[in-house]
Amino acid sequence: MDTDVLIIGSGITGLSLAAALAPHTGVVIVEADPTVAYQQTARAARALEPTIDPPVLRALRRRSAELIADALGDGAHHLARTRRRVFAGSSGQVDDLAAAGALTVAEDAVAVLTAAAARDTSVSAATDDALEVDAGALQEYYRDAALDAGVDIIPVADVHTAARIGGGWLIGAGQEGIAARTVVNAAGAWADPIAVIAAVEIQGLQPHRHTAAVFGLDAPLDPDMPALVRDGVVIRPDGDGLLVAGVAGTPGNAGFVAPHSAAVENLRRAALTLTGHRLGELDRAWTAVRTRGRDGLPVVGYDGEADGFFWLAGQGDGVVHVAPALAELAAGLILDAHGIDRGDTGRNPAAAAGRSTDEPDPTAILAALSPVRRVPTRPSADLGRTAPVH
């Protein structure tokens, strides 16, 4: 089989890129699992934006929100909604969050806390426009767009060989041999192992496990109730139940893992302590794997030494909120490399009309995400994060 672009991985990252590329060039996706997005996005539920981000990620989130809004305008009203988000903690914690996310101080936000928790809260802050995305619906939106544009998705096709041939690559995946001009490594937690197979230097990506749980309630909550972020957890309504999730993740290995009972119990205890809601039985719980770059930023662009090997990995716990913008950016880089007129497809996320003055310019974004960038010793994405509860 021959194609212009072969994408390894069918999470929301790979699907959104395929949807952006397919109107302009041939695309094939290979996926090790039997269904798309099995390991990652499908277990993300409705995801709120991360609590704190460096400027590059804020620019990507803003552009992604614009792209999702465009999809909503096309009738995909089930993809997302906005929800007020409340942060509570010490003055130092909230000051850091406010400085990083342009939040507004909201002294009345402690009203969502129990009396005991409120006594331990010196200040709170809030934002009214946190984007809550239905990750499964967004994944299906991009999958359908990719299939409608002619993308071939090959399941149960684990990559086992990769070799440079002429001006491209020959990839062995499952029972298939696929020749492609560009290979996109969108394999999530398996991105570094894929690089090893291709004899490409790894990026040092670190998988993290994030546990979430939904508990039943004796009485339903106001569906518009703000999301509360406090002591390393985020708490918000989820249908007739209450969703509780860890803000930070714990380092782990790639692969499916069932949620640990102790982690779920810690989430239950945090919800009881902070909100006082009477929780019923556990409705469901899951642990999703997110992979971060060494500096907390995604890795996006052509490898510095292996021609035709394109990195699209390390999006972290905010993958749902940056994938649309990264797909737009990556599609532009790939189509440029292939000499294909991209129109508006490759517009840099920071170049949108809504770019704020504190966001980096397009050149800085490309440099910050490049696989050949210099990585600082301290991960910038961890600044200001509270301790995980699991």
pTM listed for this prediction: 0.83
SS3 assignment, position 158: coil
Please answer whether residues 348 and 365 qualify as being in contact, where contact means their C-beta atoms are separated by less than 8 angstroms.
Answer: yes
State the average pLDDT for the chain. Answer: 80
Sorted by where each begins, the domain ranges of the chain are 2-45+137-205+294-382, 82-130+207-288
Question: Does the domain made of 82-130+207-288 have the CATH classification 3.30.70.20?
Answer: no
Highest averaged pLDDT of the listed ranges 10-14, 55-59, 75-79, 310-314: 310-314
In this predicted structure, the answer to whether residue 178 has a pLDDT above a threshold of 90 is yes
Q: What percent of the chain has pLDDT over 70?
A: 73
Mean pLDDT of 357-364: 77
pLDDT of residue 310: 99
- Mean pLDDT over 149-171 rounds to 96
Report the pLDDT averaged over residues 103-115: 60
**Which among 104, 122, 115, 13 has a CA at the least distance from the CA of 64?**
13
The pLDDT of residue 47 is 52
Q: What is the pLDDT of residues 116-135, one digit of tens each?
A: 566 666 556 666 566 777 78
User: Across residues 371-376, what is the average pLDDT?
Assistant: 76
Q: Which of helix, strand or coil describes residue 135? A: helix
Nearest to 173 by CA among 184, 188, 187, 157: 157
What pLDDT score does 9 carry? Answer: 95
The phi, psi pair for 247, rounded to 5°, reads: -75, -45
Residue of higher predicted confidence among 321 and 168: 168
pLDDT of residue 355: 55
Q: What does the pLDDT look like over 246-296, one tens digit per residue?
A: 877 777 777 777 888 999 999 999 888 888 888 899 999 988 888 888 888
* 3-state DSSP assignment of residue 202: coil
Q: Is 135 exposed, middle or buried (0-12, 13-18, 19+ CB in 10 A)?
A: buried
CA-atom Rg of the chain in angstroms: 21
- CATH code for the domain defined by 2-45+137-205+294-382: 3.50.50.60
Question: What length is written for the chain?
Answer: 390
Label the pairing between strands 27-30 and 152-154: parallel
Q: Is the pLDDT score of 158 beyond 70?
A: yes
Classified as helix, coil or strand, 205 is coil
Query: If you average pLDDT over residues 85-109, what whole number do you get?
Result: 62
